[in-house]
Amino acid sequence: MAGQPHPIDIHVGSRVRMRRVLLGMSQEELGRNLGLTFQQVQKYEKGTNRISASRLAQIAEILGVTPMFFFDALPEGATGTSKNGAAAGNTPPIESILQSPDGLQLNRAFARIEDPKVRRTLVDLVRAVADSKVLPADAVSKASGGAS
C-alpha cells in the first residue's frame, strides 16, 4: 500500500467533495476560503494529501458541518483491509450517486420541494421504476394514482 492514499484519507476527502458539491461550491471557492489553491483542494478531496485536524475543523466550519461529518459512513475495514483482506476505501453507493451530476441535480431539486405529499409521490415513483421494468410513463401514472 506504499504510495497509495490511506482509505480513511480517501473517505474524508470524498466527504469534503460531496458536501462542497451539494452546496454548489467550487474547489476554487473553498480554496480561497482556506487560503489554498484549487489544486490543493483537489489533493485533499482525492486523499492524496492528508488533511490536518485544524484544517479539517476549518473546512467543516466553511461547509457548515461538524468535523465528525467527514467520518460518517466510514466503510468497514477502512483502517487498511476488509475482513477478507481486500483493500478498503471504495466510495459507498450513496456517495457515488450524490457525487454524480444527475444525483446532484436530483438532490437539489428534491430539496426544493416543500409539499410532503409531492415528495412522497416522487419517492413512490422512483421506487416503482427501480423495482420493476415499468416504463417511466407507466410508473408516473401508478405513482399519481392513475391520473397523468
Q: Is 26 left (phi over 0), alpha (psi -120 to 50) or beta?
A: beta
Of 6-20, 54-68, 74-88, the poorest mean pLDDT is in 74-88
Q: At residue 117, what is the residue type?
A: K
pLDDT at 140 over 60: no
Domains in the chain: boundaries = 7-100, 113-148
The correct answer on CATH 1.10.260.40 for the domain covering 7-100 is yes
Nine-digit cell string for 25 = 461550491
Task: State the pLDDT at residue 82.
Answer: 43
Residues forming beta bridges with residue 81, ordered by sequence position? 87
Who contacts 11 (Cβ-Cβ below 8 Å, separation ≥6)? 47, 70, 71, 74, 75, 78, 89
Who contacts 144 (Cβ-Cβ below 8 Å, separation ≥6)? 121
* Of 58, 59, 94, residue with least CA distance to 73: 94
Task: State the pLDDT at residue 61.
Answer: 97
pLDDT at 6 over 60: yes
Band of pLDDT at residue 75, cut at 50, 70 and 90 = confident
Helix axes 27-34, 38-46, angle to 10 degrees: 100
Task: State the pLDDT at residue 68.
Answer: 94
Exposure b/e, 115-146, CB count within 10 A at least 16 = b: eeeeeebeeebeebbeeeeeeeeebbbbbeee
Band of pLDDT at residue 127, cut at 50, 70 and 90 = confident
Do residues 19 and 13 lie in contact, with contact meaning Cβ atoms separated by under 8 Å? Answer: no
Predicted TM-score of the model (pTM): 0.62
Band of pLDDT at residue 142, cut at 50, 70 and 90 = low
Of 16-25, 38-47, 135-144, the poorest mean pLDDT is in 135-144
Task: State the pLDDT at residue 21.
Answer: 86
Nine-digit cell string for 55 = 484544517
